[in-house]
Chain A
Protein backbone atom coordinates (compact mmCIF):
# COMPACT_ATOMS: atom_id res chain seq x y z
CA UNK A 1 0.00 0.00 0.00
CA UNK A 2 1.44 3.40 -0.94
CA UNK A 3 2.23 5.79 1.90
CA UNK A 4 0.61 9.19 1.33
CA UNK A 5 1.20 12.50 3.12
CA UNK A 6 -2.41 13.69 3.49
CA UNK A 7 -1.88 17.35 2.60
CA UNK A 8 0.86 19.79 1.62
CA UNK A 9 0.59 23.40 0.44
CA UNK A 10 3.06 24.14 -2.37
CA UNK A 11 4.07 27.49 -3.96
CA UNK A 12 2.50 30.09 -4.20
CA UNK A 13 0.69 29.30 -0.93
CA UNK A 14 3.95 28.03 0.50
CA UNK A 15 7.58 28.67 -0.37
CA UNK A 16 8.42 25.40 -2.16
CA UNK A 17 7.39 24.25 -5.60
CA UNK A 18 5.22 21.18 -6.03
CA UNK A 19 8.07 19.30 -7.78
CA UNK A 20 10.53 20.08 -4.99
CA UNK A 21 8.03 18.98 -2.33
CA UNK A 22 7.37 15.76 -4.26
CA UNK A 23 11.14 15.10 -4.44
CA UNK A 24 11.47 15.76 -0.71
CA UNK A 25 8.49 13.53 0.08
CA UNK A 26 10.13 10.68 -1.86
CA UNK A 27 13.38 11.18 0.09
CA UNK A 28 11.39 11.07 3.33
CA UNK A 29 9.78 7.73 2.51
CA UNK A 30 6.43 8.69 0.96
CA UNK A 31 5.07 7.30 -2.29
CA UNK A 32 2.59 10.12 -2.88
CA UNK A 33 1.48 13.49 -1.50
CA UNK A 34 -1.82 15.32 -1.74
CA UNK A 35 -1.07 18.88 -2.88
CA UNK A 36 -3.72 21.47 -2.07
CA UNK A 37 -4.40 23.55 -5.14
CA UNK A 38 -1.83 21.51 -7.06
CA UNK A 39 -2.14 19.37 -10.14
CA UNK A 40 -1.52 15.69 -10.69
CA UNK A 41 0.86 16.18 -13.64
CA UNK A 42 3.86 15.77 -11.35
CA UNK A 43 4.65 12.11 -10.56
CA UNK A 44 3.71 11.16 -7.00
CA UNK A 45 1.32 14.07 -6.56
CA UNK A 46 -2.44 13.82 -6.08
CA UNK A 47 -4.48 16.93 -6.66
CA UNK A 48 -6.23 18.19 -3.53
CA UNK A 49 -9.04 20.72 -3.17
CA UNK A 50 -9.78 22.31 0.18
CA UNK A 51 -13.26 23.73 0.75
CA UNK A 52 -13.32 26.14 3.68
CA UNK A 53 -16.98 27.08 3.99
CA UNK A 54 -19.21 28.20 6.83
CA UNK A 55 -22.41 26.55 5.60
CA UNK A 56 -23.27 23.22 3.99
CA UNK A 57 -25.00 25.10 1.15
CA UNK A 58 -21.71 26.81 0.37
CA UNK A 59 -19.91 23.43 0.35
CA UNK A 60 -22.50 21.97 -2.04
CA UNK A 61 -22.24 24.92 -4.45
CA UNK A 62 -18.41 24.72 -4.39
CA UNK A 63 -18.57 20.95 -5.03
CA UNK A 64 -20.69 21.60 -8.13
CA UNK A 65 -17.83 23.66 -9.59
CA UNK A 66 -15.30 20.84 -9.16
CA UNK A 67 -15.14 18.34 -12.06
CA UNK A 68 -16.10 14.72 -11.26
CA UNK A 69 -13.16 12.57 -10.15
CA UNK A 70 -10.92 15.61 -9.74
CA UNK A 71 -8.54 14.62 -6.96
CA UNK A 72 -9.12 14.58 -3.22
CA UNK A 73 -11.87 16.88 -1.93
CA UNK A 74 -11.23 18.03 1.65
CA UNK A 75 -13.59 20.12 3.72
CA UNK A 76 -12.55 22.19 6.74
CA UNK A 77 -14.42 20.99 9.79
CA UNK A 78 -17.02 23.03 11.68
CA UNK A 79 -19.54 22.20 14.41
CA UNK A 80 -21.21 18.80 14.79
CA UNK A 81 -24.23 19.54 12.56
CA UNK A 82 -21.95 20.88 9.81
CA UNK A 83 -19.58 17.92 10.04
CA UNK A 84 -22.38 15.34 9.91
CA UNK A 85 -23.93 17.05 6.88
CA UNK A 86 -20.54 17.27 5.11
CA UNK A 87 -19.77 13.59 5.80
CA UNK A 88 -23.04 12.76 4.02
CA UNK A 89 -21.96 14.53 0.81
CA UNK A 90 -20.93 12.02 -1.83
CA UNK A 91 -17.69 13.56 -3.11
CA UNK A 92 -16.15 14.64 0.18
CA UNK A 93 -13.17 12.42 1.08
CA UNK A 94 -11.51 14.11 4.05
CA UNK A 95 -12.62 16.23 7.00
CA UNK A 96 -9.78 18.64 7.81
CA UNK A 97 -8.77 20.76 10.77
CA UNK A 98 -10.78 18.86 13.36
CA UNK A 99 -8.41 20.11 16.10
CA UNK A 100 -9.64 23.67 15.55
CA UNK A 101 -13.35 22.74 15.90
CA UNK A 102 -15.31 22.79 19.16
CA UNK A 103 -14.78 19.72 21.36
CA UNK A 104 -18.07 18.00 20.58
CA UNK A 105 -17.77 18.59 16.84
CA UNK A 106 -16.98 14.96 16.09
CA UNK A 107 -18.76 12.43 18.29
CA UNK A 108 -19.69 8.74 18.06
CA UNK A 109 -22.60 9.49 15.67
CA UNK A 110 -20.34 11.37 13.26
CA UNK A 111 -17.75 8.58 13.66
CA UNK A 112 -20.30 5.94 12.60
CA UNK A 113 -21.35 8.03 9.61
CA UNK A 114 -17.74 8.64 8.57
CA UNK A 115 -17.10 4.89 8.71
CA UNK A 116 -20.22 4.15 6.64
CA UNK A 117 -19.45 6.80 4.00
CA UNK A 118 -15.69 6.19 3.91
CA UNK A 119 -14.81 9.78 4.83
CA UNK A 120 -11.44 10.16 6.54
CA UNK A 121 -10.63 12.49 9.41
CA UNK A 122 -7.31 14.24 8.97
CA UNK A 123 -4.87 14.34 11.88
CA UNK A 124 -2.75 17.39 11.13
CA UNK A 125 0.76 16.99 12.55
CA UNK A 126 1.80 20.62 11.96
CA UNK A 127 0.51 21.87 15.35
CA UNK A 128 2.61 19.20 17.08
CA UNK A 129 5.68 20.56 15.30
CA UNK A 130 4.90 24.26 15.22
CA UNK A 131 3.01 24.91 18.46
CA UNK A 132 4.36 24.96 21.98
CA UNK A 133 2.79 24.79 25.44
CA UNK A 134 -0.96 24.72 26.00
CA UNK A 135 -1.87 24.86 22.28
CA UNK A 136 0.12 21.69 21.60
CA UNK A 137 -1.26 20.00 24.72
CA UNK A 138 -4.83 20.68 23.54
CA UNK A 139 -4.13 19.19 20.12
CA UNK A 140 -2.55 16.06 21.64
CA UNK A 141 -5.52 15.60 23.95
CA UNK A 142 -7.95 16.11 21.05
CA UNK A 143 -6.17 13.55 18.87
CA UNK A 144 -6.17 11.06 21.77
CA UNK A 145 -9.97 11.37 21.97
CA UNK A 146 -10.29 10.98 18.19
CA UNK A 147 -8.06 7.93 18.27
CA UNK A 148 -10.32 6.29 20.85
CA UNK A 149 -13.31 6.89 18.55
CA UNK A 150 -11.30 5.57 15.59
CA UNK A 151 -10.42 2.37 17.47
CA UNK A 152 -14.05 1.84 18.37
CA UNK A 153 -15.84 2.81 15.15
CA UNK A 154 -13.07 2.18 12.57
CA UNK A 155 -13.62 5.30 10.45
CA UNK A 156 -10.59 6.12 8.27
CA UNK A 157 -7.99 8.63 9.47
CA UNK A 158 -5.21 10.25 7.49
CA UNK A 159 -1.99 11.86 8.69
CA UNK A 160 -0.84 15.08 7.07
CA UNK A 161 2.19 17.29 7.53
CA UNK A 162 0.28 20.29 6.08
CA UNK A 163 3.71 21.60 5.19
CA UNK A 164 4.00 24.94 3.40
CA UNK A 165 7.70 24.37 2.80
CA UNK A 166 10.13 21.49 2.41
CA UNK A 167 11.29 22.57 5.88
CA UNK A 168 7.88 21.57 7.26
CA UNK A 169 7.80 18.11 5.68
CA UNK A 170 8.56 15.22 8.01
CA UNK A 171 9.70 11.67 7.30
CA UNK A 172 7.54 8.59 7.81
CA UNK A 173 9.74 7.73 10.81
CA UNK A 174 9.24 11.20 12.30
CA UNK A 175 5.48 10.84 11.81
CA UNK A 176 5.55 7.51 13.66
CA UNK A 177 7.34 9.21 16.58
CA UNK A 178 5.07 12.27 16.54
CA UNK A 179 1.95 10.08 16.47
CA UNK A 180 3.23 8.28 19.57
CA UNK A 181 2.62 11.54 21.43
CA UNK A 182 -1.10 10.76 21.27
CA UNK A 183 -0.61 7.00 21.72
CA UNK A 184 -1.02 6.02 18.06
CA UNK A 185 0.86 2.81 17.35
CA UNK A 186 3.13 2.22 14.36
CA UNK A 187 0.65 -0.11 12.62
CA UNK A 188 -2.08 2.49 13.00
CA UNK A 189 0.21 5.18 11.56
CA UNK A 190 0.97 3.04 8.52
CA UNK A 191 -2.75 2.35 8.11
CA UNK A 192 -3.51 6.08 8.31
CA UNK A 193 -0.79 6.94 5.78
CA UNK A 194 -2.17 4.42 3.29
CA UNK A 195 -5.89 4.97 3.98
CA UNK A 196 -6.32 7.57 1.21
CA UNK A 197 -5.35 4.99 -1.39
CA UNK A 198 -8.19 2.71 -0.25
CA UNK A 199 -10.65 5.62 -0.10
CA UNK A 200 -9.79 6.88 -3.58
CA UNK A 201 -9.88 3.44 -5.14
CA UNK A 202 -13.22 2.78 -3.42
CA UNK A 203 -11.88 -0.28 -1.63
CA UNK A 204 -13.05 -1.03 1.84
CA UNK A 205 -10.19 -1.62 4.31
CA UNK A 206 -11.86 -4.94 5.17
CA UNK A 207 -13.04 -7.09 2.28
CA UNK A 208 -15.54 -9.90 2.90
CA UNK A 209 -14.79 -12.88 0.68
CA UNK A 210 -17.49 -15.53 0.38
CA UNK A 211 -16.27 -19.07 -0.15
Chain B
Protein backbone atom coordinates (compact mmCIF):
# COMPACT_ATOMS: atom_id res chain seq x y z
CA UNK B 1 0.00 0.00 0.00
CA UNK B 2 1.14 3.52 -0.84
CA UNK B 3 1.59 6.08 1.94
CA UNK B 4 -1.64 7.29 3.51
CA UNK B 5 -2.53 10.81 4.58
CA UNK B 6 -3.98 11.24 8.06
CA UNK B 7 -6.11 13.49 10.19
CA UNK B 8 -6.91 13.25 13.90
CA UNK B 9 -9.63 15.26 15.61
CA UNK B 10 -11.71 15.12 18.78
CA UNK B 11 -14.61 12.68 18.22
CA UNK B 12 -17.40 15.24 18.40
CA UNK B 13 -19.98 16.45 15.90
CA UNK B 14 -18.35 19.88 15.64
CA UNK B 15 -15.44 18.25 13.82
CA UNK B 16 -17.56 16.32 11.30
CA UNK B 17 -17.20 18.76 8.44
CA UNK B 18 -13.43 19.10 8.81
CA UNK B 19 -13.09 15.29 8.79
CA UNK B 20 -15.33 14.95 5.73
CA UNK B 21 -13.40 17.68 3.93
CA UNK B 22 -10.25 15.71 4.54
CA UNK B 23 -11.80 12.58 3.02
CA UNK B 24 -13.32 14.37 0.03
CA UNK B 25 -10.04 16.21 -0.56
CA UNK B 26 -8.15 12.92 -0.51
CA UNK B 27 -10.61 11.28 -2.92
CA UNK B 28 -10.47 14.27 -5.24
CA UNK B 29 -6.69 14.24 -5.27
CA UNK B 30 -6.80 10.55 -6.24
CA UNK B 31 -9.04 11.32 -9.20
CA UNK B 32 -12.47 10.19 -7.95
CA UNK B 33 -15.56 11.74 -9.56
CA UNK B 34 -17.69 14.18 -7.59
CA UNK B 35 -20.56 11.63 -7.56
CA UNK B 36 -18.31 8.95 -6.11
CA UNK B 37 -16.84 11.43 -3.61
CA UNK B 38 -20.32 12.16 -2.24
CA UNK B 39 -20.97 8.44 -1.80
CA UNK B 40 -17.64 8.03 0.00
CA UNK B 41 -18.41 11.08 2.16
CA UNK B 42 -21.79 9.61 3.04
CA UNK B 43 -20.30 6.28 4.15
CA UNK B 44 -17.66 8.15 6.16
CA UNK B 45 -20.19 10.47 7.81
CA UNK B 46 -22.31 7.53 8.93
CA UNK B 47 -19.28 5.78 10.42
CA UNK B 48 -18.12 8.96 12.18
CA UNK B 49 -21.54 9.77 13.63
CA UNK B 50 -21.65 6.28 15.14
CA UNK B 51 -18.30 6.95 16.79
CA UNK B 52 -19.37 10.40 18.02
CA UNK B 53 -22.52 8.90 19.54
CA UNK B 54 -21.26 5.66 20.99
CA UNK B 55 -17.48 5.33 21.26
CA UNK B 56 -16.69 7.65 24.14
CA UNK B 57 -19.46 7.37 26.72
CA UNK B 58 -16.71 7.16 29.36
CA UNK B 59 -15.07 10.45 28.42
CA UNK B 60 -13.73 12.41 25.44
CA UNK B 61 -11.51 10.82 22.80
CA UNK B 62 -10.21 11.23 19.28
CA UNK B 63 -10.98 9.78 15.90
CA UNK B 64 -8.29 9.32 13.30
CA UNK B 65 -8.80 8.88 9.56
CA UNK B 66 -6.20 7.55 7.16
CA UNK B 67 -6.75 7.80 3.44
CA UNK B 68 -4.87 6.38 0.46
CA UNK B 69 -5.07 4.05 -2.52
CA UNK B 70 -4.60 0.28 -2.47
CA UNK B 71 -2.92 -1.81 -5.17
CA UNK B 72 -6.23 -2.12 -7.04
CA UNK B 73 -6.57 1.67 -7.29
CA UNK B 74 -9.35 1.68 -4.72
CA UNK B 75 -9.62 4.42 -2.13
CA UNK B 76 -8.93 3.02 1.32
CA UNK B 77 -10.29 4.89 4.32
CA UNK B 78 -9.36 3.68 7.77
CA UNK B 79 -11.37 5.14 10.63
CA UNK B 80 -9.83 4.53 14.06
CA UNK B 81 -11.03 5.22 17.58
CA UNK B 82 -9.91 4.06 21.00
CA UNK B 83 -13.41 3.90 22.45
CA UNK B 84 -15.70 1.09 23.56
CA UNK B 85 -15.31 -2.01 21.39
CA UNK B 86 -18.07 -1.72 18.82
CA UNK B 87 -18.57 -3.42 15.48
CA UNK B 88 -21.10 -1.35 13.52
CA UNK B 89 -21.43 -4.19 11.01
CA UNK B 90 -23.09 -6.26 13.73
CA UNK B 91 -26.17 -3.99 13.63
CA UNK B 92 -29.22 -5.37 11.90
CA UNK B 93 -30.52 -3.94 8.64
CA UNK B 94 -33.40 -1.46 8.76
CA UNK B 95 -36.82 -2.36 7.36
CA UNK B 96 -36.77 -0.43 4.09
CA UNK B 97 -40.38 -1.19 3.23
CA UNK B 98 -42.22 0.29 6.25
CA UNK B 99 -44.38 3.37 5.60
CA UNK B 100 -44.15 6.81 7.28
CA UNK B 101 -46.03 5.81 10.42
CA UNK B 102 -44.08 2.60 10.99
CA UNK B 103 -40.70 3.61 9.72
CA UNK B 104 -38.23 3.65 12.56
CA UNK B 105 -36.17 6.75 12.96
CA UNK B 106 -32.57 5.79 12.49
CA UNK B 107 -30.96 2.46 11.67
CA UNK B 108 -29.94 3.68 8.24
CA UNK B 109 -26.36 4.68 8.95
CA UNK B 110 -24.76 1.27 8.66
CA UNK B 111 -26.97 0.47 5.69
CA UNK B 112 -25.48 3.46 3.86
CA UNK B 113 -21.93 2.46 4.78
CA UNK B 114 -22.49 -0.94 3.19
CA UNK B 115 -24.29 0.43 0.15
CA UNK B 116 -21.97 3.30 -0.72
CA UNK B 117 -18.59 1.59 -0.74
CA UNK B 118 -17.40 -1.70 -2.20
CA UNK B 119 -16.07 -3.28 0.94
CA UNK B 120 -16.28 -2.64 4.69
CA UNK B 121 -14.27 -4.44 7.34
CA UNK B 122 -14.14 -4.05 11.09
CA UNK B 123 -11.40 -5.15 13.39
CA UNK B 124 -10.46 -4.52 17.00
CA UNK B 125 -6.71 -4.15 17.34
CA UNK B 126 -4.58 -2.97 20.28
CA UNK B 127 -7.48 -1.23 22.00
CA UNK B 128 -8.71 0.43 18.83
CA UNK B 129 -11.81 0.03 16.67
CA UNK B 130 -10.69 0.09 13.06
CA UNK B 131 -13.26 0.37 10.29
CA UNK B 132 -11.83 0.08 6.79
CA UNK B 133 -13.81 1.26 3.78
CA UNK B 134 -12.70 0.46 0.24
CA UNK B 135 -14.21 2.26 -2.73
CA UNK B 136 -13.46 1.78 -6.41
CA UNK B 137 -13.55 4.72 -8.82
Co-assembled chains A and B = no
Measured CB to CB, the residues of A under 8 A from B are none
